[in-house]
Structure 1
Amino acid sequence: MELRQHNPTQGIYAATDDYVHAMEVRGAERLLFISGTMGLDPDGKPGATLTEQLDLIWSNLRVILASADMTVDNIVRLTSYLRDASDAEANAAARVAALGGRQIPTTAIVVQTLLTEWLVEIEVVAAR
């Protein structure tokens, strides 16, 4: 599989250093669409803080990816749903750390979550 970033600099606003405008996937045999994943522990209890929830989310994503014989290196698209816009920076930092600095197309949206304890939810697309 080949991944090609498309990050034009003319005629469009500049992407920041933590994402790219688009990712082209060539030669992928499989696509994995992961539903919104929350910061819940194995008993379904949310982490008490944003940091705990982000740690749980990325742990949960790794488990889901592993079940499809993939890793975070296979993630080609990510959407974050944040309860509070002030959490955007921490969410971006957690994403950058989890992806080892690898840039992918990403979107963050501020929403009302189904339960007030849920501070963030992340869905991804992975390819292999």
Structure 2
Amino acid sequence: MSILLHNPENLFPPYRNYSHAVEVKANSNLLFLSGLNGYLPNGIDMPNSFEDQADLIWQHMGALLASAGMSYQNIVSLRFYLAHPSFDEANVKILQKYLGSHAPARTVICCQLLEKKWKLEIEAVAAK
């Protein structure tokens, strides 16, 4: 499978762990991950801190990716829903922790989430 990043020089420079566009060539498997949040395995409780919720979400994503024979490096698109703009820098630090230099397409949206205790929800698309 071939993944091509598109960051033309006539656009503004890409952010950390971000590409303006990501192209996936034909004959690929695509995996669409639903919006995930930081519930513990019991499906009821979740940590209070943004960082702990985010770590759990990334662990959930890792398990889903592995179930499809993929890893974080197969992620081609991410959509983040933050409960407050003040979480942005912490979100980027956790993103760098899990992705290293990998730079998928991504969008960050600040909004009221479905549950008050949620601080973050993440959707993803992966390909191999």
TM-score (norm 1): 0.94
Q: Write the letter of the residue equivalent to 2:35.
A: G
RMSD over aligned CA atoms reads 1.1
Q: How many residues end up aligned between the 2 structures?
A: 127
Structure 1 match to 2:21: 22
How far 1:87 sits from its partner (Å)?
0.2
Displaced runs of 4 or more, over 4 A: none
Structure 2 match to 1:37: 36
Whole-Å Cα distance in 1 between the matches of residues 8 and 104 of structure 2?
Answer: 14
Q: Which runs of 5+ in 2 are unaligned?
A: none
Identity %: 39
Query: Within 5 A, what are the aligned runs for 1:2-81?
Result: 2-10=2-10, 12-44=11-43, 45-81=45-81
TM-score (norm 2): 0.94
Contact (CA 8 Å) 1:18, 1:103: kept in 2 or not? Answer: yes
Q: Which runs of 5+ in 1 are unaligned?
A: none
Contact (CA 8 Å) 2:32, 2:126: kept in 1 or not? Answer: yes
Further displaced range: 15-24 or 108-117: 15-24
Classify 1:91/1:28 alpha carbon distance in 2 versus 1 (closer, same or farther; 3 Å). Answer: farther
Residue deviations 1:23-50 (CA, integer Å, cap 9, x gap): 1111442101000010111012112201
Residue deviations 1:39-70 (CA, integer Å, cap 9, x gap): 11101211220110011000000111111111
Whole-Å Cα distance in 2 between the matches of residues 47 and 9 of structure 1?
Answer: 41
